[in-house]
Amino acid sequence: MAYVRPVSKTTWYLKDRNYTIHMINELTSVFIGLYALLLLWGIGAVASGDKAYYQFFLECLTSPGMLVLLWVTTIVIFYHAIAWFKVTPKAMPIQKGEAFVPGGVIAGAHYVIWVLFSLVVLYFAGVF
């Protein structure tokens, strides 16, 4: 009988550095999910038309615990975006003539678009 080596369903990602890195990347989505919930809550607070409730929401945002979460989320979003941009040339190769557009150009374009979007958002947020 052929021998089947057991695979741990709970610790497999500790076996290999690349697996671990991948799992960290996947974990970042937890924070992004939390942030999405936060946004939903904010929208709910505005939509409720209850000024006091909205005020409470804003106060929560500036509480130290929340600030930590927001900072962590910001860092994590950067990490996630950079990791993703790095691999976009694999998912979306562009062929011009015979040659493929170098990966750096495709990843670079993503950064440019990211910055542009951020500027637009900041503009509407009244930063400029």
Partner 1 sequence: MSAVQLELEILRYDPEKDQEPHFQTYQVACQEEWMVLDAINHVKDEVDTTLSYRWSCHMAVCGSCGMMIDGQPKLACKVSVKDYANKKVRIEPLANFPIERDLVVVQDDFMEKLKRVKPYIIRKEEQPIEAGEYKQSPAELKKFKQFTLCINCLCCYAACPEYALTPEFMGPAALALAHRYNTDSRDQGLAERHKELSKPEGVWDCSFTDTCSIACPKHVDPASALQQLKIATTVQWYKELIGMGDK
State yes or no: residue 9 binds partner 1 (CB under 8 A).
Answer: yes
State yes or no: residue 5 binds partner 1 (CB under 8 A).
Answer: yes
β-bridge partners, 100: 95
Residue list 32-71, contact with partner 1 (CB under 8 A) = none
CA pair distance 37, 27, nearest whole angstrom: 16
**What's the sign of the alpha-carbon dihedral 71, 72, 74, 78?**
positive
Choose which of 39, 43, 87, 121 interacts with partner 1 (CB under 8 A): 87
State yes or no: residue 10 binds partner 1 (CB under 8 A).
Answer: no
Residue 83 CB-density burial (10 A; 0-12 exposed, 13-18 middle, 19+ buried): middle
DSSP code of residue 1: -
Q: Which is nearer to partner 1, 38 or 88 (CB)?
A: 88
CA pair distance 18, 10, nearest whole angstrom: 16
Least Cβ distance, residue 13 to partner 1 (angstroms): 7
Angle at 117 between CA 107 and CA 41, to 5 degrees: 115
Choose which of 92, 105, 115, 120 interacts with partner 1 (CB under 8 A): 92
Least Cβ distance, residue 74 to partner 1 (angstroms): 24
Choose which of 49, 64, 65, 97 interacts with partner 1 (CB under 8 A): 97
Binding site for partner 1 (CB under 8 A): 1-5, 7, 9, 12-13, 16, 18-19, 22, 26, 87, 90-93, 95, 97-100
